[in-house]
Amino acid sequence: MNATRRPAIAAPLPRRRPRPNDTPPVTRGVAGPSRKPTTTRRAMPCDQERHVQMKLRDLARGLPDFTDRKVIDRHMERLDSHGASRRDFLALASAGVAAGFGAAALGLPAAAIASQNGKFAFLTGFMVNEWNTTFDRTAKTAAESLGIGYTSLDSQFDGERQYNQFEQQVAAGVSGVIFNLSDGSAIRGLARTAAQNRIYIANIWDSLPWFTPFDADDYYTLFAVSEEVTAQREVTEVLLAGVTERFGGGDIIGVTGSKGSLLELQRNRGRDAAFAKFPKTRLVDELPGLWNREDALKATEDLLTRNPNVVGIVTQDDDIALGAIAALNAAGLRPGEDVLVVGTSGTGLGSKAVKAGQMLATKGNSPALAAALFTTRLYDVTHGWVPRASERMLNWNTLTLTRDNIDGWIERFVDNGDVEPFDYRKMSKVLHPDDWDPQAEVYPLDIDQSFGGIPKPEGYSYPPAYVAARDTGERAAVAAEYAAHYKIKYDGPSPNRRA
């Protein structure tokens, strides 16, 4: 799948700015370790000592009584700290008080202190499929190449648990978080908490429809997904063409992701659009496969029982496709012969199923690419780089993979040993300000294409920054700039492969 290339338009790189996580210089001396004197300490002059004591007493008198639960609740409400526990609030308040006392002791103004430990986290709603585990592994490797710490947590489809995990990372002083959400509607509250704590966040896949980074603030730095409507239409067309050629048409069933998620809705739109070209085929039924093999197997078994004449299965993930293949085998049907199956992730096992003829096609949507894109974005913004409006919502294109081109994909992304598929450092605009390379077809996301078919909230209006970027030509300039910097081809060999 190829993005339409626009002529290159000169567009300057965005300005750098001081990092929002930079600790104000006046507080650095306060936060440092105390030194044990090796000689006799000079006594503080009496007047200065009395002055410091008075400052501390004045500061203490101005503090709220945090032994009173009602006082805590009142302050939490004023700070809009929904989702935070009283214990977390008191921990943050104590840290602020300590900094304030230290500043007062030195006669300095109190200032907010943000973490600069260079640690990122990946909080996923489900680590049960290969796409997420590969994303996790690659993000860790990319973080190591950038010299930053990394951790990951799995909420197991539990939105409340994922919110609690985020609060734990906030308390641990994390600098940036990548989300694959259990519940896309949580993004509004997560973005608010991130802004309050000056933590950069980036989100992939599920989201609250029509809510964008522009509806939060600069700390919600990126929402990015592959262009799913077109991708799912293309792979479904491969299935329907195969079914029409082999069987003359027939019944198709769908095994989707998680019901009502943004990603499922996008892929459903693409899938449904494909049937217009193949009138002898029809979608007769569907059930969610919840992005994993076990649930997909059960869903496919139910669908086969209800629809005995199925000749094709369109799925929304390679793990789902593998579950469908297992169900076909259990029913005595030959995948790739009696029933054709397509997936849409390009995972290792999915790719090998294509090579073996059990899957007709999948979409090459490398989790390693997404992991690298998101990790380098967090690295860049925590090191002073400022994205333009059109860079805060991005799409990337995927490849349609069949037996004709699967070997090159497997060599680069599956059976690649210790050869990483991307040059992670070269994706960074901080480390490579002149020759950065997205290493895939990456371009600004279109809100209407992403959220199309989903009703807008009452009174909705497009974000002014988004409209301005579109109308002033910034969007086109960014698309052209990314195309011009795209040198390491997504469908070619790894840039790290030895000659």
Q: Would you give the DSSP letter of residue 13?
A: P
Q: What pLDDT is attached to residue 51?
A: 45
Residues 350 and 415 in one domain: no
Q: Are residues 277 and 377 in the same domain?
A: no
* Cα→Cα distances 29→35, 39, 51, 258, 382, Å: 12, 21, 20, 51, 22
Residue 73: predicted pLDDT? 52
- Per the domain annotation, does 391 fall within a domain? yes
The rounded distance, in Å, linking the Cα atoms of 415 and 413 is 6
Asked whether residue 407 falls in the same domain as residue 427, the answer is yes
pLDDT at site 69: 55
Instruction: Looking at the structure, tell me whether residues 333 and 379 fall in a common domain.
Output: no
Q: Point out the domain boundary residue: 93, 114, 135.
A: 114
| 259 and 274, same domain (yes or no) | yes
Model pLDDT, residue 68: 54
Domain assignment of residue 441, yes or no: yes
Taking CA atoms, 211 is separated from 216, 374, 463, in Å, by 8, 19, 9
In the prediction, which pLDDT does 111 show? 30
**Going residue by residue through the chain (499 aa), what tens digit of pLDDT does each one get?**
444 333 333 333 343 444 444 433 333 333 333 333 333 334 444 444 544 454 444 444 444 455 555 545 544 443 443 444 545 445 444 444 443 444 334 333 333 233 445 799 999 999 999 999 999 999 999 999 999 999 999 999 999 999 999 999 999 999 999 999 999 999 999 999 999 999 999 999 999 999 999 999 999 999 999 999 999 999 999 999 999 999 999 999 999 999 999 999 999 999 999 999 999 999 999 999 999 999 999 999 999 999 999 999 999 999 999 999 999 999 999 999 999 999 999 999 999 999 999 999 999 999 999 999 999 999 999 999 999 999 999 999 999 999 999 999 999 999 999 999 999 999 999 999 999 999 999 999 999 999 999 999 999 999 999 999 999 999 999 999 999 999 999 999 999 998 7
Query: How many domains would you assign to the chain?
Result: 3
222 plus 233 within the same structural domain: no
Same domain, 335 and 434: no
Task: Let me know whether 308 and 251 are in one domain.
Answer: yes
359 & 391 share domain: no
Q: 149: which strand partners?
A: 119
Residue where a domain terminates, one of 114, 149, 172 = 114
Quote the CA–CA distance of 180 and 225 in Å, as a whole number: 11
User: Within a domain: residue 349?
Assistant: yes
* Domain contains 375: yes
Q: Are 55 and 107 in contact (CB under 8 A)?
A: yes
Name, in order, each residue with C-beta under 8 angstroms of 174's C-beta and a sequence gap of 6 or more: 115, 117, 119, 120, 121, 151, 199
Domain range enclosing 260: 229-364
Inside any domain, residue 11: no
| CATH classification at residue 477 | 3.40.50.2300
> What are the CB-based long-range contacts (under 8 Å, 24+) for 104-112?
104/52, 104/55, 104/56, 104/58, 104/59, 105/52, 105/55, 105/56, 106/29, 106/30, 107/55, 108/26, 108/27, 108/30, 109/26, 111/24, 111/26, 111/27, 112/24, 112/198
Please check whether residue 157 lies inside any domain of the structure: yes
Residues 385 and 308 in one domain: no
Q: Please check whether residues 242 and 303 belong to one and the same domain.
A: yes
Which residues of 366-469 form beta strands (DSSP E)?
393-396, 399-401, 442-444
